[in-house]
Amino acid sequence: MPRYDFRCRSCGATFELRRAMAQANDPAVCPQGHADTVKLLSTVAVTGGSAASAQAAPAPSSGGGGGCCGGGCCG
Ligand SMILES: [Zn+2]
């Protein structure tokens, strides 16, 4: 069963639901109980349909420090 991402416009929370494709466009309720939610674009490609576009900027992965070198174990 495909998974769909939703965002609540009331509290800004994002959540995901697993539902049948036939119910993909059904309204979803935020875990906090808000009904004002929007469906986010997922990796599922949809051919045709509406021309609504949403651009999501890729989140840069911040590399953490630590590791082996620096602790004196690599010498
Ligand atoms: Zn909410």
Ion ligand 1 neighbours, Cβ < 5 Å: 8, 10-11, 13, 30, 32, 34
Residue with tokens 């010498």: 75
Tell me the pLDDT tens digit for each residue of 15-59: 999 999 898 888 899 999 999 999 997 655 556 555 444 455 666
Range 14-38 burial, b when 16+ CB lie within 10 A, else e: ebebeeeeeeeeeebebeeeeeebe
- Please give the pLDDT value at position 47: 61
- Please give the pLDDT value at position 57: 61
Whole-number Å distance, alpha carbon 73 to ligand 1 midpoint, is 48
Whole-number Å distance, alpha carbon 71 to ligand 1 midpoint, is 45
- Please give the pLDDT value at position 41: 76
From 46, 34, 32, select the one nearest 4 (Cα to Cα). Answer: 46
Tell me the pLDDT tens digit for each residue of 22-31: 988 888 999 9
Whole-number Å distance, alpha carbon 49 to ligand 1 midpoint, is 27
The pTM score is 0.53
